[in-house]
Amino acid sequence: MTTFNVEEYAKNREVLVSVHGIHRVFMRGDEEVHALNGISLDIYRGEYICVMGPSGSGKSTFFNMVGGLDSPTSGRVFIDGVDMAQLNADELAFLRCRKIGYVFQTFNLNTVMTALENVTLPMIFAGVHADEARARGMALLEKVGLGERWNHRPKEMSGGQMQRVAIARSLANNPSILLCDEPTGNLDLKTGVEIHQLLCDLNKKDGVTVICATHDHNMLSVCDRMVWISDGQIERMADRANVTIEKASLGTEDYE
C-alpha cells in the first residue's frame, strides 16, 4: 500500500478547511474522555472526503469542530481562512447558516413542516424573501428528485426521501461545505447508494466540498480521499486513485 503523498495531492488545490492539532476532552463524571487526540488535516475546496472509523472513534466530534457546533479543548479550526475561535455566537450562526450545510444520520427534519417548508427554513433565517425562497426551495427539491413531493410531511415519506429533503435543506443557502455525518446510517443499502450518488453529483457538478463520515464501503467508489480515524487520531489517509483496486485489502471490514 502506498503512503499518502500530501504534497502531490495538494497541488493545484485550495485549502478550505484547516484543522490544527485539535483535542477534545469530555468529562464523563470524574473520568476524562479524550474524543479527539490531536487531529491536523487540510481539506481542499471541491473535494469529496470520506472520514471512516469505528463507532466511538471521534468522527462526530470531529464534525462538530469543523461545523462550528462545538469548540476544541485545544487546537484551532479555520474555515475559509477564518479562525472559528474568534467568532461570537451570532457570527457562528451566520457561518452555520450560509457557509456549511449539515446532513444528519437521523435526518432531523422538522416533523410539522412540509418538505418545502423544511428546505426554505434556512433561507428564512438568512433573510431571503418568501417568494424567492419558495422558488429556490422548489428548484432544490427538484434537484434531489422530490419536486412532486414538496407538500408532503416527513411522516409521509420514506427514509431515503427524508434524507433527500435534508440534503436539499443543507444546500439552501449555497454553502461551500457539506458535512454529512453517516448520512446512510439509517438507510438500506440500495437507498444508501442512491444518496451517495446524489452527494457525488452535487460534488462533481456544483463543486460543493463534501465531508462525509461513513461506515459504508459504497462510499469509497465516489469519494476523492479517505481518512481513517481511530481513537481520536488520524490513522491513515488514502487517495481514492490508489485504493480502488485494493478495496478488498483495505481492512474496513474490521469496522463493521
Ligand X SMILES: Nc1ncnc2c1ncn2[C@@H]1O[C@H](COP(=O)(O)OP(=O)(O)O)[C@@H](O)[C@H]1O
Give which of ligand X, another protein, Mg ion, none residue 18 binds (C-beta under 5 to 8 Å, depending on kind): another protein
Find the shortest distance in angstroms from Cβ 98 to ligand X. Answer: 25
Pair 255, 85: CB distance under 8 Å = no
Binding residue for ligand X (CB under 6 A) from 18, 44, 57, 234? 57
Span of 32-40, 107-115, 157-165, 188-196 interacting with another protein by CB under 8 A: 107-115
Q: Which is nearer to ligand X, 33 or 113 (CB)?
A: 33
Pair 132, 119: CB distance under 8 Å = no
User: Count of residues binding ligand X (CB under 6 A)?
Assistant: 12
Our finding on whether 118 is near Mg ion (CB under 5 A) is no
Our finding on whether 164 is near ligand X (CB under 6 A) is no
CA dihedral 93, 94, 96, 98 (to 10 degrees): 160
Q: Which is nearer to Mg ion, 60 or 214 (CB)?
A: 60
E strand or H helix at 241, and its extent?
helix 240-243
Q: Which residues of 18-49 are buried (b: 16+ CB within 10 A; e: fewer)?
A: bbbebbbeeeeeeeeebbbbebebbbbebbbb
Find the shortest distance in angstroms from Cβ 49 to ligand X. Answer: 15
Our finding on whether 106 is near ligand X (CB under 6 A) is no
Our finding on whether 197 is near ligand X (CB under 6 A) is no
Angstrom CA distances, 31 to 3, 28, 34, 144, stand at: 36, 5, 10, 44
Q: Which is nearer to ligand X, 28 or 205 (CB)?
A: 28
CA dihedral 180, 185, 188, 194 (to 10 degrees): 10
Binding residue for Mg ion (CB under 5 A) from 18, 60, 163, 252? 60
Backbone angles phi, psi at 7, to 5 degrees: -55, -45
Give the three-state DSSP class for 187: coil
Q: Which is nearer to another protein, 90 or 131 (CB)?
A: 90
Our finding on whether 56 is near ligand X (CB under 6 A) is yes
Our finding on whether 89 is near another protein (CB under 8 A) is yes
Pair 146, 168: CB distance under 8 Å = yes
Span of 92-100, 132-140, 193-201, 202-210 interacting with another protein by CB under 8 A: 92-100
Our finding on whether 214 is near another protein (CB under 8 A) is no
Our finding on whether 235 is near ligand X (CB under 6 A) is no
Residues in 30-49 that interact with ligand X by CB under 6 A: 33, 35
* Bridge partners of residue 41, in order along the sequence: 19
Interacting residues with ligand X (CB under 6 A): 26, 28, 33, 35, 53, 55-61
